[in-house]
Structure 1
Amino acid sequence: MMTQLPIEAVLPALKNSLQIHKNAVLVAPPGAGKTTRIPLALLDEPWLEGSRILMLEPRRLAARAAARYMAASLGEQVGETVGYRVRLDTKVGPKTRIEVITEGVLTRLLQADPALEDTGIVIFDEFHERNLHADLGLALCLESQSVLREDLRILVMSATLDADPVAALLNDAPVIVSEGQAFPVETRYLNRRVEERMETVVARTVQEALKNDEGDILVFLPGAGEIRRTETRLVEAGLGRNVHIAPLYGSLSRKAQDLAISPSLPDERKVVLATSIAETSLTVEGVRIVIDSGLMRIPRFSPRTGMTSLETVPVSRASADQRRGRAGRQGPGVCYRLWTEQEDRHLALRSIPEILEADLAPLALELAAWGVSDSGELLWLDPPPAAAFAQARELLSQLGALASDGTITPHGRRMAELGLHPRLAHMVLQAVPLRLGGLACELAALLSERDVLRSDRTVLDADLRLRIEALRSVKKAGRTEVMSVSGFHVDTAACRRILSEADRWRRMLGISEEEEGDADACGILLAFAYPDRIAQKRTTGRFLLRNGRGAAFSELQPLSNAPYLVAAELGDQVPESRIFLAAPIELTELEQYMGDQIETASVIEWDGTAQAVRARKRKRLGALLLKDAPFADPDPEEILEAMLHGIAQEGLEILPWTRAARQFRQRLAFMHKIEAEWPDVSDSALVSTLENWLAPHLYGLKSRSDLQRLNLTGIFESMLPWEKRQVLDEYAPTHFTAPSGSRIPVDYSDPDNPVLAVRLQEIFGLKETPRIARGKVPLTLHLLSPAQRPVQVTQDLASFWKNAYFEVKKDLKGRYPKHYWPDDPLSATPTNRTRPKK
């Protein structure tokens, strides 16, 4: 006979709602009995007509426990009326009507049978956890209900859910609320923030609770590492012979998990060290005390890097309340919160749904298999972020899962059928024809679990081949005692789980036991799974990834000098990601297996360091330069283009500017100033028109030294027709013949003010300022002393003779007494000597 549970009070309302409506939402607090009572209560409803009930549970442990409890309440074994399907473990039979399923099992069932023909209702339990698979499963079920199965019913159940948005998504489904029944729980906070290691605080609190409070203890910690360290501290503290410590996390063996949730023996107490696996659905018998670290570990996907990393974050308000409720399931309890009341006021109300932060590649592949390329075609409580979804589809295209039109390929459909992450599914399928399928299955199982190596050191060797060696050693030895590989402890229990998983993939793909594969092939297999994380050595321990990002080991290790490797696990550090797991790969393997992705290009470009054009053949894999070698007989036109680019890059000063060439250019600039139809020879104009005026003269030239052979004066002259050359000499003469007979060069460096720098004595008798451009432009006279120093600047020579000469004469005569300084400069004899000849 079943115990009366609080949920019983709302069963009539729930049954009535599902009789009238296709969908419903049930909100019931922890301990109300919704998980184990609702499926049994609906089993004989007339609308079910003998069809099965599918109930999706977020965790395997909770799924198995719920199935066993319901089967026991019927006086049956699991696999009769009630069964379950979880990863690596299925117990269903021909008479099974209720199936408790997990993770991707619902998705697999929907992909195989979109109408779910033999199913009457799908129940989503603990939906407040908002797992990615739950959101996807609900979206697909709604699509199936809308298009294929109008009679299919959907029930969403939760303890802390905001029911209104879910009810709206389910076509305004009715909401049934169970008040439940919970015993009072006293909540105790810390007086100050935790400054010690969390494991130390937890161990001390456990000892305090054992001393002051009654019942078993459930401790919430973020992960397996913290659980192991806390267990060590408690063992060292010596809790007494009647106190047993029981870890509880997802990758533990089923036997160890069952031990943790079983009732303690009389006169014994139990301390369960658990992750958030014990937060919902699961009743740990005998618990009256909860110690909450206030932390949880969640996967965070970075669209910026394409990587997922685990982050330890504070729990939400909803999670903290769920955890506290564990102490009040079977009687009054106490909850120790290892944070202050002030910190408690700043907790987020709810955790962020996984769909908003997760790697969406698995979801994108499932949608493609469903026939959907745009996630907006389905109904979501929170739609997948557009950027992350687009990045996921880009990865699927790179893995060959999507065709150019975005539809799923036969290879992509096979990937989806495997139920692995798309990266690992692609790797396994690529490995089979290479007779590396066994090794690929081992790698896929390894990368889906936590690390099998342990060490007292802070950093483990990242080489994945060591993990393969550990797996095969455990498989060969068939024993459970402590083993080691290369000085690292081996988690034999984890190895056995991984080997079991690998064997399942072997059987599915028809891979024989003899087909093991050399561990040295890990690199190429990882390259299939993580083509974007193929890396090339920069310096010892530092690498460049194919996607252009940097990566490095935190400390030197054997792989630090590998010329190439593939990183399977990376951190999201900036500027260089930390490499946690990797395997080496040879260049020849990249060329053999990634040849269709390697781009070969003939590169002819200006080398600024060598100041010359270099012709190279380059092979690239993304950002990685695999080969770079010179090649003969490059295309002359490409050489010319590279030379022009180099000149533009270096600037016009790279050209061989003689005095004559500079003056010719300056004269042209002067002519352009007074008449716009003359060529513009400014730096910007010349650089932008290099292909017009300079390119014809560059054939056969490859370097800066070759440029010295150019005759720039002749090149500039060739820019002018014959008529303009004559006009140029007339308008902008190169020299002025002074009254002394000297030919003085005209300085056109300032096109607005051409300058004639001449010694004062050489222009005695010259009455007016000389002019050029047919008299339009006066020269600016720099009148020089015998020592070639300016004594006057003027454009009005007549005024100088009349007003300024006599003061200048007085000064010059004092400094240069031997020189000729007449009283009447206009009638004096000009000279380029100290005194004029008699």
Structure 2
Amino acid sequence: MQVIPELRHALQSHSSAVLIAQPGAGKTTVTPLELLNESWLAGQKMIMLEPRRLAARAAAAQMAKALGESTGQTVGYRVRMDTKAGPNTRIEVVTEGVLTRMLQHDQALEGVGLIIFDEFHERSLHADLGLALALQSQALLRPDLKILIMSATLEAEPVCRLLRDAPLLECPGNVFPVETFYKSKPLSASLEDFTAEAVEQALHAHEGDVLVFLPGAREIHRTERELVSRNLPAQVKVIPLYGSMKLEQQDEAIRPSALGSRKVVLATSIAESSLTIAGITVVIDSGLSRESVFSARTGMSRLTTVRVSKASADQRRGRAGRLQPGVCYRLWSAQEHAALPEASRPEIVAADLAPLALELAAWGVREPAELAWLDTPPEAAYRQATGLLRQLGCLCSAADGTAGGITAHGREVSALGAHPRLGHMLLRAAALGLAPTASRLAALLQERDPFRAHGGTDLRPRLDALREAAHARSTHSLLREADDTVIRRIVQESRQLLASLSQAAAAEDEPDGSAACGLLLAFAYPDRIAQGRGDGRFLLSSGRGARLRQVEWMSRSSYLVAAEVDDEGADGVIQLAAPVELHELLDHCREWLQEQAHVYWDSSASAVRARKVLQLGSLVLKEASYERPPAEEIAAALMQGVRERGLKLLSWNRQTLQLQARLIFMHFSAPEDWPDSSDAALLDSLESWLLPFALGAKNVSDLQRLDGSGLLLGRLDWEQRQQLEQEAPTHIRVPSGSRLPVDYSNPEAPVLAVRLQELFGMKNTPRIGRGRVPLVLHLLSPAQRPVQVTSDLSSFWNEAYFEVKKDLKGRYPKHYWPDDPLEATATHRAKPKR
């Protein structure tokens, strides 16, 4: 590469550097070899992080070949379940969590002089975490440690700033021109049919091999079947390429085609970068990829198919121009291309952060802000992750004063290298003598399910099949339909997990270990323990609903544990699960059980209920009556009943209701001096005026026996009680001598209903409320029917009385109707006594 001299100088004078090199420049396989003998490296080794296992193995093989050696000598690799490295290895290509494990084992990384992060634009969670840890190690322990970031499409400026203004070097690649065609898919066509049609067109129009990008293995196999059905020329071979295939099959996709033959490689984004597939001159890009999206709200992840970014599309197109001019068919329109995002979303903003949170705790960090990040982990997802880790016993809780610190159990889980859920399950299983079954289960859950097409929802038959495979038997029906490569990898991974539990010598297998599958899942997924609600519907302990996709025998299970749930819609769809018995939860999950006493208002019975319940999250496992609940809790439940039913539940008599109306009138007249006694205000303040007197009440009948008037008067002081009698009297004495009740139903206009004859001699309307509020007089006939409504009695006598008199005198001739009502004697009889 032309930029190597500048890169040597940059790393000689700086602790970090950023290299942007176009595809074909040789950054992956040339850069490490060119830096191997630098004086600042001082004979130490370099670690290069690759985002994919296939690329890591291929890069190591190509560098070893350049040195005339075999892999594992000067150049080696370490990937999950596969290592080729020796004591003399100077360049180690690693992937996944290997770099993180190395840093956790030795935070100073003694003996390592350079860490290279290749294809950093992919922004995997491991790459972001590894860089954050490496930067802190460099700052605190190893100022001589060098860090190099490499990519073809990375936005370099933010990375340079993160690396304390590291120098940026750019190198053009040996990329040949690639002609690009846009080919928009009709809505009526399936992706597989349209892709196969594009492949046929490309094979007829162009020379060389074809690389097709599809979102996942499912689409790859469907497209493969479609191409086979189209009777392609005999010299054309269709080869799938995705991460879970055998090494030999992956190598076949990378090797040059035999003379006179052509190949069509159907690949996922695994072939997007770092790999040079010999012979490729045509790229057909579906524009889709598969990614896992985590929901902090539900604590679940789901695979979703998304549009690629412009940067990814350019990476894919570049595969056609690595060795000679090529063409690229994009199966979308130019207008759609303009709307694509510039770069892919970093995994850290959409991933399950439980593994990252545990790694940080093991590192000694309690908050992500203590490290330097290109994108800080989202707060909600990180809090959800630490909550799960506390539930699993991996982090200390706030109760012991060391909130966020890693526990001894958490260190054991971290050392296993599995997801914290599975690590916790493995350790709990080992204590119960179930390590072999748990190891197989953990290995299965870490892989793409090889039995998905025929295995149904129940995990137990899968474990039985894996147990047979581990003993070199293949009679189980599921094994006949599964991918042998994936099965072998799961068996190998399960053995490594078993060895990591220091139980490799446990040759004896559990005779019926799969029967414990539900319990083992409960250890890993306490938030997905589910209680049956009928018809295949379940309530998860997290409070979320879930259902089985179709009716099966597990639909009738009282309890099951969901290992995989598709987080879509109101109820998630359970993909993988196993039943668990109630006694297993009671015996082995005690740390998650809570016994709570509930005293509550039962709306349907209008009564107080008292129950003791044993809960696991949102699930009620057991329920019993609660004898002698505290009086305070009964009273509080009664208050809830009053709030729900209203004050009518108290069955107040007429006297109490009138008192309430008078108090409302006083508040209306002087709101700053008098408490609000409306129904709404009283319901809002039950704890202050009703609750103290309800202590000791056991039911509604006891509540109704309380003196309502006394309760309301209890809210007043002595002076207010005196004023109430004066300013809002219950009755008014009228000239006839009668003492008549005042109706305060309308606080703005209290009413006095009185027979007209009883007011003879009264010149003005009676007033209350310190003389500010005239009563509304309902003047009644001798038959108690209103003949006039007025709040101005004087005007009535002067203007309306004589018309009313004519009418009443005609209808009630025996009654007394004087010409001058102000001089007449009031009476409650037909005529006044003489």
Fold similarity call, TM over 0.5: yes
Which deviates the most, 533-542 or 697-706?
A: 697-706
**1:193, 1:339 within 8 Å by CA — same for their partners in 2?**
no
SS state at 2:150 partner: strand
Determine if the alignment matches structure 1 residue 504 to structure 2 residue 496. yes
Determine if the alignment matches structure 1 residue 196 to structure 2 residue 194. no
**1:289, 1:334 within 8 Å by CA — same for their partners in 2?**
yes
SS state at 2:574 partner: strand
The C-alpha deviation readout for 1:633-690, integer Å capped at 9, x for no partner, is 1222332233234324432222222223323444555677789978864435544664
What is aligned with 1:619? 614
Determine if the alignment matches structure 1 residue 36 to structure 2 residue 29. yes
Determine if the alignment matches structure 1 residue 247 to structure 2 residue 240. yes
User: What are the residue-to-residue correspondences of 1:24-63 with 2, within 5 Å?
Assistant: 24-63=17-56
Determine if the alignment matches structure 1 residue 85 to structure 2 residue 85. no
Pairing partner for 2:225 from 226, 232, 247: 232
2: CA distance, partners of 1:582 / 1:710: 56
2: CA distance, partners of 1:732 / 1:532: 61
Pairing partner for 1:580 from 545, 557, 575: 575
SS state at 2:3 partner: helix
1:703/1:199 CA distance change after superposition, 3 Å:
same
What is aligned with 2:789? 793
1:309/1:810 CA distance change after superposition, 3 Å:
same
Determine if the alignment matches structure 1 residue 370 to structure 2 residue 370. no
Which deviates the most, 752-761 or 773-782?
A: 773-782
1:722/1:206 CA distance change after superposition, 3 Å:
closer
Shift of 1:279: 1.2
1:680/1:209 CA distance change after superposition, 3 Å:
closer
**1:746, 1:756 within 8 Å by CA — same for their partners in 2?**
yes
**1:559, 1:584 within 8 Å by CA — same for their partners in 2?**
yes
The C-alpha deviation readout for 1:138-190, integer Å capped at 9, x for no partner, is 22222222222233222222222233433343343333333221233222221
2: CA distance, partners of 1:161 / 1:724: 78
What is aligned with 1:3? none
Shift of 1:473: 4.0
Determine if the alignment matches structure 1 residue 561 to structure 2 residue 574. no
What is aligned with 2:5? 12
The C-alpha deviation readout for 1:393-414, integer Å capped at 9, x for no partner, is 2322222222242222221112
1: CA distance, partners of 2:719 / 2:121: 89
Letter of the 2:392 counterpart: L
The C-alpha deviation readout for 1:305-344, integer Å capped at 9, x for no partner, is 3322222112222222221222222222222221122222
User: What are the residue-to-residue correspondences of 1:506-585 with 2, within 5 Å?
Assistant: 506-511=498-503, 512-516=506-510, 518-585=513-580
Which deviates the most, 312-321 or 370-379?
A: 370-379
What is aligned with 2:207? 214
What is aligned with 1:282? 275
Coordinate RMSD, CA, aligned: 3.3
What is aligned with 1:430? 428
2: CA distance, partners of 1:674 / 1:213: 94
2: CA distance, partners of 1:378 / 1:692: 51
1: CA distance, partners of 2:674 / 2:763: 32
What is aligned with 2:753? 757
**1:483, 1:490 within 8 Å by CA — same for their partners in 2?**
no
2: CA distance, partners of 1:246 / 1:329: 20
Pairing partner for 2:605 from 582, 585, 610: 610
What is aligned with 1:490? 482
**2:185, 2:331 within 8 Å by CA — same for their partners in 1?**
no
**1:535, 1:545 within 8 Å by CA — same for their partners in 2?**
yes
Determine if the alignment matches structure 1 residue 807 to structure 2 residue 800. no
1:695/1:361 CA distance change after superposition, 3 Å:
closer
SS state at 1:154 partner: strand
Shift of 1:104: 1.0
Letter of the 1:298 counterpart: E
What is aligned with 2:134? 141
Which deviates the most, 812-821 or 640-649?
A: 812-821
Which deviates the most, 632-641 or 535-544?
A: 535-544
SS state at 1:447 partner: helix
User: What are the residue-to-residue correspondences of 1:371-770 with 2, within 5 Å?
Assistant: 371-404=364-397, 405=402, 406-455=404-453, 461-476=456-471, 478-479=473-474, 483-484=477-478, 489-511=481-503, 512-516=506-510, 518-667=513-662, 681-683=677-679, 686-687=682-683, 690=686, 694-695=690-691, 698-713=694-709, 734-735=730-731, 744-750=740-746, 753-763=749-759
**1:361, 1:389 within 8 Å by CA — same for their partners in 2?**
yes
SS state at 2:48 partner: strand
The C-alpha deviation readout for 1:63-97, integer Å capped at 9, x for no partner, is 11222222233332222222211111111122222
What is aligned with 1:308? 301
Letter of the 1:598 counterpart: L
Shift of 1:60: 0.9
2: CA distance, partners of 1:771 / 1:179: 98
Gaps of 5+ in 1: 1-6
2: CA distance, partners of 1:176 / 1:739: 108
Gaps of 5+ in 2: none
1:150/1:717 CA distance change after superposition, 3 Å:
closer
2: CA distance, partners of 1:773 / 1:378: 71
1: CA distance, partners of 2:405 / 2:471: 44
Shift of 1:251: 0.6
1:19/1:636 CA distance change after superposition, 3 Å:
closer
1:377/1:689 CA distance change after superposition, 3 Å:
closer
The C-alpha deviation readout for 1:701-728, integer Å capped at 9, x for no partner, is 3333444444435656777899998987
Determine if the alignment matches structure 1 residue 160 to structure 2 residue 158. no
2: CA distance, partners of 1:279 / 1:578: 32
SS state at 2:313 partner: helix
Shift of 1:498: 0.9
How many pairs are equivalent?
825
1:313/1:807 CA distance change after superposition, 3 Å:
same
2: CA distance, partners of 1:210 / 1:565: 51
The C-alpha deviation readout for 1:594-626, integer Å capped at 9, x for no partner, is 322222222222233322222221233223333
1:469/1:826 CA distance change after superposition, 3 Å:
same
Which deviates the most, 239-248 or 530-539?
A: 530-539
Q: TM-score, normalised by structure 1?
A: 0.90
Shift of 1:364: 2.0
Shift of 1:221: 0.7
SS state at 2:336 partner: helix
1: CA distance, partners of 2:715 / 2:36: 96
Q: TM-score, normalised by structure 2?
A: 0.90
**1:130, 1:353 within 8 Å by CA — same for their partners in 2?**
yes
SS state at 1:304 partner: coil
SS state at 1:325 partner: helix
**2:211, 2:267 within 8 Å by CA — same for their partners in 1?**
yes
1:775/1:347 CA distance change after superposition, 3 Å:
closer
1: CA distance, partners of 2:419 / 2:593: 25
Letter of the 1:623 counterpart: S
1:29/1:788 CA distance change after superposition, 3 Å:
same
Letter of the 1:333 counterpart: G
1:378/1:828 CA distance change after superposition, 3 Å:
closer
| Identity over aligned pairs, percent | 58
Shift of 1:227: 0.6
1:746/1:153 CA distance change after superposition, 3 Å:
closer
Shift of 1:476: 4.7
The C-alpha deviation readout for 1:183-242, integer Å capped at 9, x for no partner, is 332222216656411111111112222222212211111111111111111122222432
The C-alpha deviation readout for 1:271-313, integer Å capped at 9, x for no partner, is 1111111111112122222111111112222233332222211
2: CA distance, partners of 1:557 / 1:803: 88
What is aligned with 1:345? 338
